[in-house]
Amino acid sequence: MSGVAGEAAIRPGVSFMRAETLESADAARRCLARPVDFERVGARLRALDPPFVVTCARGSSSHAGTFLRVLIAQRLGLTAAAAMPSVASIYRWPQRLRGALYVTISQSGRSPDLIACVEQARAAGALTLALVNDTASPLASACELVLDIAAGPEQSVAATKTVVASLTAVLALVDAWRPVPSTHAVLAALPERLAAAASLDWSALISALACVDRIFTVGRGPALGIVNEAALKLSEVCGIAGLAFSAAELVHGPMALVGPRFPVLALLQDDASRPHSVAFLSTLTARGAPVLAAGGRVAGAVALPILPPMRADADLLPMLVSFYLAAEAVARARGMNPDHPPSLHKITQTI
């Protein structure tokens, strides 16, 4: 039996979702192949020294935006907020954005609401930056600065390698803006670590989700964007209602739902948040909740394997690769086609 996550649960044939997840390492390598692009943008941002940052995205790209906002707060001490696209696209309320950095993240670069947001932000005096998989798209043309995530074509409706490439671009962007001693080593090792994550055995997650209809996904700090992405994938690909929360927010009300029939998937990273998350998750297992934890040992929980830690933020990307492969296997085990979730399309154009 192969050690690849979920191999035993996958029927003959390889889905696009699985194949494209396995291409994540190559996508990250392409994204990082032109460091001069990130260095140029990083130098521009240091010169600008924006008072605040706004991220604008939809769907999976919005989770990369959450990841970016956390890193900006941690590494640069800047306030970073998520845009409300309807403010520009429907209500057309003017925004006070002079001097700000406005970052839009998109796979296709063709959603009308994102384009309207960028046009409004640029007219209001913000520096606009696109992280996009199509540098010839209308969104890229509307922005002053563009970074190519270089994921390549993606056929599965459920985005995988484009999300990993977007997260890679976020890491490279923040590292170029505010370099730290580990920057070069972390980015250089990332593609191989993404490839290695595909061989980790997350079959325990597949078994736990075979017959459930709901799950909490939990993380703090930079993991929050990743668990948001996990919840979305479980909802769209597996038909499982995924509810993503910060471990701190779960205490405020939603914890009342936790019990033997409501599993919890927790993604932890090796930073100051982990002891608090481990302590909280231990209270959930004490209540009989099935908890599956990656990145920390929790009493009574099932431990999902991860790679040896390198740097807390970058360590979350290999976890996402392991998760994607498990989610694809869960979908197949539940009789669903992971490449074609019901009622969804590859390019979603919202207004």
**CATH classification of the domain holding 268:** 3.40.50.10490
- Residues 206-228, mean pLDDT to the nearest whole number: 95
Reported as a pLDDT band with limits 50, 70 and 90, residue 5 is: very low
Q: Three-class SS of residue 179?
A: coil
Structural domains of the chain, count: 2
Residues 212 and 308 in one domain: yes
Residues 311 and 259 in one domain: yes
What interhelical angle do 59-76 and 161-177 show, nearest 10? 20
Task: Give the per-residue pLDDT at 345.
Answer: 61
For 8-12, 283-287, 306-310, which range has the lowest pLDDT when averaged over its residues?
A: 8-12
- Residues 187-202, mean pLDDT to the nearest whole number: 98
Contact 313, 287 (CB under 8 A): no
Helix (H) or strand (E) holding 102: strand 101-106
Q: Which residue has the higher pLDDT, 173 or 247?
A: 173
Task: Give the per-residue pLDDT at 15.
Answer: 95
Residues 258 and 240 in one domain: yes
Residues 169 and 30 in one domain: yes
Task: Give the per-residue pLDDT at 348.
Answer: 63
Residues 215 and 126 in one domain: no
| Calpha distance 24→317 (Å, rounded) | 10
| Calpha distance 94→71 (Å, rounded) | 28
Domain containing 69 equals: 22-195
Residues 182 and 66 in one domain: yes
Residues 131 and 278 in one domain: no
Full-model pTM? 0.93
Query: Is 9 part of a structural domain of the chain?
Result: no
